[in-house]
Structure 1
Amino acid sequence: MFQDVTLNELSTLRNNGEITLIDVRSPSEYYDATIPGSLNIPVFNNDERAEVGTLYKQVSSEAAKERGLEIFSAKLPGFIKRFSQIDTEKAVFCWRGGMRSETAATVLDLMGIHVYRLQGGIRSYRQWVIQTLDQLEFKPRTYVLNGYTGSGKTTILRQLQKEGYPVLDLEKLANHRGSIFGQIGLEPNNQKKFESLLVQDLLRLQQSPYTLLEGESKRIGKAVLPDFLFNKKEQGTQLFIDLPLNERILNILDEYQPWDHQEQCIEAFRIIKKRIHTPIAKQIESHLENGEFYSAVQLLLEYYYDPLYDRTAEQYLDKITIQANNITEAIKGVKTIVHEIPVR
């Protein structure tokens, strides 16, 4: 018989050995939010879930169960095969630890495949995330990377992370670059996804003497920072990366690849077009339409992003400026500062 486990018991199992979490909800539910690292092996696809749900609401729970069993029975061989290919311990979950995970676990048990089932489903996990973020006191000192658009702040953080430095990559967690152009080529994470990933990183970094992060605004794409983290960022040591304009333009072109997303770039620009002096705005739009991306980015920086950043940066009176010719030099500058300033 399959074994029900609480969220705490599941965490202990994960710490004691490799275990694969399997979300048996529909692909759309899985995409909306899941437990990070989980696989999706659904009992129903999106249309099937909608059909069974409609029967439940409009006919009866028995009619829904009968139709659900009929649908699931037809896909049992493939369902069991996918589970049998996973050579670790396995734990299944659905929304509330209800019929889908129970049915999946029961069938697998009959086929000799042992699985655990998470009590309370992903809803219990979501409640844990909210409670943890609400109660967490983030201890590490924060070094916050600021700088004009194109200063390579995200690239710097990710290189430092590769080298083992304690980094909180908020843009990666939000899957958004934090500007009106920030979702180009990306699919931003919603708040639930963002918080599930965020809480894992915060707990991972909790015992670090310091953490490096980027000077983001309160909102990053679809995600909003918790108050305690935003305040921690505002109170941190502010580092300002200062790169030459040409270098920043090249960084932006390398990051966004606008030639592959021309229409998205034009659509995003039209959202802010009215905030830019009309003749300049027309020039930028023309450059984007003609594929003259270097010139478009240069004008955007000079007439929109740099003045906007100057106004925002005025609030930071105590800051450390790192002047560099390129990202490599900026990384060296950041390393020097975090090693020179004693941890309090």
Structure 2
Amino acid sequence: MADDTRDFAALFLNDTPLLDVRAPVEFAKGAFPTATNLPLLDDDQRHRIGIRYKEAGQEAAIELGNQLVSGALKRRRLDAWRQWREAHPDGYLYCFRGGLRSRTTQAWLGIEGLSVPLVVGGYKALRHFLLDTLDRRLASQPLWVLAGPTGSGKTRVIERLSRAVDLEGLAHHRGSAFGRRPGGQPTQIDFENALSIALLKQAAVDAGPVVMEDESKLIGRCCLPPRLQARLRQAPRVVIEEPLEERVRVTLEDYVRAPLREYAAYYGADQAFERLAADLQAAMDRIRRRLGGARHQQLRQALDEALAHQRRYGDGDAHQGWIRELLAGYYDPLYEYAMRTHRQGEILFRGTRDEVLAFLR
């Protein structure tokens, strides 16, 4: 059996399976990519035991816990933990502070003949480690920023590089008003944890620059750490330059055709189109104020007509019109303004998407 561990870096570098025995409400607020939540106490039980602890102390709280998790319920808990352990013989378990809940779980499993080592300090220690790691890496990690107007295919380049961190992938969002994806986004804590782990893994490979896509403060609802925002403004840039028609083609694929396949996989083919259509319309309405009333009305009508055509004929090409207008009349001026006023880093290279990919490799 492995010993209890304080080697938090190894846990994350090796993608070690983790058994999280905190209550579901705690897990939902923040966890780690390889963690599975199989709680010792459900939310109501945790609440009741917390009240008992405050009123009568630890022994009374433990007694209540043993009453609440007993008999058939205890058996179900043990069976779930056993299945997890059999699937993950190299895993570790933790609770919030590595105290009573994790040690109770470990002891119960021991009676069953199963040994599962603990993460010393629990979730709290792991979270502090990742916050410290994130702060250190953002202070010292060399960065290059991949820039380019909307539709230039920045994410496609990021996905083909080994020395890169896909911020939009971590945020599960495509990074614009039209960027929502089925399944929603991670919590802010989960986003920060994943970002810290990604940087930790990059630092373990070598000390060279890591490429990140140029992003604003928010990717959907996920907020970039302030230090990362500053680094992205100041870091050297590599700029993709593609003609408008190529960017229309890429945007059509990335925001209409590929999402339709993603929606079909998530919601089922019978619901995919109508859900995507509603999300595209809602996205256009979210930027109504920035577009101005007349332009919004024109683009919304073009979007509605393209959706009606696609609904009838299954052909997405009709979306090219509103996409072209939105890129040229809305997103391009925003990009040019941001490059003039908010980006100070030197430009290392300019070129087409293929040329930029070759340069970065």
| Structure 1 CA distance for aligned equivalents of residues 296 and 231 of structure 2 | 37
Q: State how 1:16-35 maps to structure 2 within 5 Å.
A: 19-35=16-32
In structure 1, the partner of 2:347 is 319
Shift in Å, 1:273: 0.8
Q: Percent identity?
A: 27
Equivalence for 2:210: 211
Corresponding residue of 1:93:
94
User: What is the CA–CA distance in structure 2 between the aligned matches of 1:321 and 1:84, rounded to whole Å?
Assistant: 50
Could you tell me which of 264, 278, 283 is aligned with 1:268? Answer: 283
Aligned residues: 323
Q: How does 1:68-87 map to 2 (within 5 A)?
A: 68-69=69-70, 72-76=73-77, 78-86=79-87
Report the equivalent of 2:331: 305
Task: Indicate the residue corresponding to 1:173 in structure 2.
Answer: 170
User: Aligned AA for 1:302?
Assistant: A
1:189 correspondence with 2:183:
no
* Distance in structure 2 (CA, Å) of the matches to 1:284 and 1:115: 58
Shift of 1:121: 1.5
CA separation in 1, counterparts of 2:105 and 2:210? 42
Change (3 A) 1:3 1:53: farther
More helix by share: 2
- Hey, what's the Cα distance between the residues in 2 that align with 1:83 and 1:125? 21
Structure (1/2) with the larger strand percentage: 1
Query: What is the aligned partner in structure 2 of residue 342 from structure 1?
Result: none
Structure 1 residues 92 and 322: alpha-carbon distance in aligned structure 2, compared to 1, 3 A threshold: same
Mind listing any 5+ residue stretches in structure 2 that lack a counterpart?
261-272, 308-317
Q: Distance in 2 between matches of 1:30 and 1:13?
A: 18
Cα distance between partner residues in 2 of 1:191 and 1:239: 28
* DSSP 3-state at the match of 1:159: coil
Q: Name the aligned partner's letter for residue 333 of structure 1.
A: V
**What runs of 5+ residues in structure 1 fail to find an aligned partner?**
325-329, 340-344
CA drift of 1:159 comes to 1.6
Aligned partner (choices 322, 334, 345) of residue 296 of structure 1: 322
> What TM-score do you get using the length of structure 2 for normalisation?
0.78
CA separation of 1:274/1:101 partners in 2, compared to 1, >3 Å: closer, same or farther?
same
Equivalent runs, 1:99-114 vs 2, <5 Å? 99-114=100-115
Q: 1:170: Cα distance to partner?
A: 1.2
**3-state SS in 2 of match to 1:116:** coil
Residue equivalent to 1:284: 299
Give secondary structure in 2 for the equivalent of 1:75: helix
Q: Residue 36 of structure 2 is aligned with which of 39, 50, 54?
A: 39
Query: What RMSD in Å do the two structures reach over aligned CA positions?
Result: 2.9
Rounded to whole Å, the distance in 2 between the matches of 1:322 and 1:128 is 38
Q: 2:51 aligns with which of 57, 65, 71?
A: 57
Distance 1:35 1:90 in 2: 13
Secondary structure at the residue paired with 1:22?
A: strand
